Amino acid sequence: MKQGTPPPCVTTAARRVYAALLDIPSASAAELSSATGLTQPEIHDALECLRSFGLTRMTSTEPMRFHPVSPGSALTTALGPLRRSQEAIQQTIERVQSDLETMGQMYAAHARPATEDTCSEEVVDLSEVRRLITELAHSAQSEILTSQPGGPRDGEVLHEAMERTEAVLSRGISIRTIYQHTAQFSQVTTEYVRMVTDLGGQVRTSAHGFPQTLVFDRTTAIIPLPGSTEGAVLMRNPPAIAFIADAFDRAWSAATPFPLAYKKQRVSETADEVREAIIHLLLQGMTDKQIADRVGLSMRACQRHIASWMQDLGARSRLEAGYLAARCLPR
């Protein structure tokens, strides 16, 4: 192990040795072995673990005896280099982002006009967006890929979509839909999925979901219009649509079938996956609102998950929680 680099977690043996050191403030390895019942190699590994976290020390007058160090002092020592590294990384991110934004403005100013084959069309009116979706669904020949992130669906929206979906499926057109796990906890959404499934549609869910998308026969796509809650972008660019469809297929493979019956184990697994997604997004530096939007939860529910996670870790701040989680979460 690299000097000064903490292991993923404090081991069970290290906890036993640390507890013994609290009872015997100055102890040799042999005394710790006798007090804990651990073998000499286990004592050596445990002391290495504690030393990497700064939880034990030796003095020059007693070079072979070990003394406990308070976790508060150890925390300052362990987190100091990480905080400095984090600040340096953040500064680099901001500089690169600023440089690329500047280059993006230059690119946009000199970009060539789109051709008929690669053009995209912005549609700002919601009623027009709905009309387009209806027309494209009616003319679909083989499949429709759709992703609806954001958790449970609105009942009126689902009612409107049902007639269109039923008409498409009755023609033998394949429909695959990805929701987020949180949609499973909505009775209205579950009933809609049950009807769609009975008609031959396929619905899956994932913790992170997939960006809102509609792809028709892999030739035309509709995606949200940036900065608008009602507009959309109609795309006919073959390479871009192929990329979106491929990304959808990958997300579909990783997603799980929408559960139509209550199963306690599956509910627990789903909750754990949502919580893990929240933690990973938090470690990426996202705000509570960004995380809530990404996993399809309300702000309050998202904050409850974060508070519960910090309590489980015994962390007093988000920075400390992030440090502990970064060492313990699977990569």
- Best CA proximity match to 167, nearest among 184, 144, 147: 144
Q: Are 209 and 135 in a shared domain?
A: yes
Give 76-112 pLDDT, tens digit per residue: 777 777 777 888 888 888 888 888 878 877 766 665 5
Does residue 107 lie within any of the structural domains?
no
Distance, in Å, from the CA atom of 161 to the CA atom of 154, rounded to the nearest integer, reads: 11
Task: Specify the number of domains making up the chain.
Answer: 3
Give 168-226 pLDDT, tens digit per residue: 999 999 999 998 888 887 888 888 899 999 999 999 988 877 888 999 999 999 998 88
Q: Are 125 and 249 in a shared domain?
A: yes
| Mean pLDDT on 142-161 | 83
Determine the length of the chain: 331
Does residue 311 lie within any of the structural domains?
yes
Q: Could you list the residue range(s) of the whole structural domain that residue 23 is in?
A: 1-90
The residue to which tokens 């609806």 are assigned = 148
* 3-state SS assignment for residue 198: helix
* Last-in-domain residue among 198, 222, 257: 257
pLDDT for res 325? 65
pLDDT for res 175? 94
Q: Are 229 and 321 in a shared domain?
A: no
Other residues' Cβ atoms within 10 Å of the Cβ of residue 121: 11
| Mean pLDDT on 58-87 | 79
Does residue 160 lie within any of the structural domains?
yes
115 pLDDT above the threshold of 50: no
Q: Are 81 and 10 in a shared domain?
A: yes
Under 8 Å between Cβ of 279 and 285: no
Whichever domain contains 241, its CATH number is: 3.30.870.10
| Mean pLDDT on 158-176 | 89
pLDDT band at residue 118 under the 50/70/90 scheme: very low
Does residue 216 lie within any of the structural domains?
yes
Please give the model's pTM, rounded to 2 decimal places: 0.52
Non-local (6+) Cβ contacts of 30 within 8 A are 40
pLDDT band at residue 293 under the 50/70/90 scheme: confident
pLDDT, greater one: 215 or 265:
215
Distance, in Å, from the CA atom of 55 to the CA atom of 76, rounded to the nearest integer, reads: 11
317 pLDDT above the threshold of 60: yes
Q: What are phi and psi of 22, to 5 degrees?
A: -70, -30
Q: Are 214 and 284 in a shared domain?
A: no
pLDDT, greater one: 261 or 156:
156
Give 229-261 pLDDT, tens digit per residue: 888 999 988 889 999 999 999 999 988 888 876
Does residue 95 lie within any of the structural domains?
no
Q: Are 136 and 179 in a shared domain?
A: yes
pLDDT for res 203? 92
14 pLDDT above the threshold of 70: yes
61 pLDDT above the threshold of 80: no
Residue type, 204: R
- Best CA proximity match to 278, nearest among 320, 250, 318, 229: 318
SS (H, E, C) 246-308: HHHHHHHHHCEECCCCCCHHHHHHHHHHHHHHHHHHHHCCCCHHHHHHHHCCCHHHHHHHHHH
Does residue 115 lie within any of the structural domains?
no
The residue to which tokens 């192929």 are assigned = 242
The upper half-sphere exposure of residue 301, i.e. CA atoms within 13 Å in the direction of its Cβ, equals 12
Does residue 108 lie within any of the structural domains?
no
Task: Give all strands (DSSP E) within 140-257, no chain letters.
Answer: 143-147, 174-180, 202-206, 213-216, 220-224, 232-235, 256-257
| Mean pLDDT on 123-139 | 89
Report which listed range, 119-133, 192-206, 288-302, 314-328, is most confident: 192-206
Does residue 98 lie within any of the structural domains?
no
Q: Are 52 and 11 in a shared domain?
A: yes
Q: Is 218 left (phi over 0), alpha (psi -120 to 50) or beta?
A: left
pLDDT for res 278? 78
CA dihedral 169, 175, 178, 181 (to 10 degrees): 30
Other residues' Cβ atoms within 10 Å of the Cβ of residue 163: 10
Query: Percentage of residues in the chain with pLDDT exceeding 70?
Result: 88
pLDDT for res 145? 96
331 pLDDT above the threshold of 60: no
Q: Are 291 and 234 in a shared domain?
A: no
pLDDT for res 277? 79
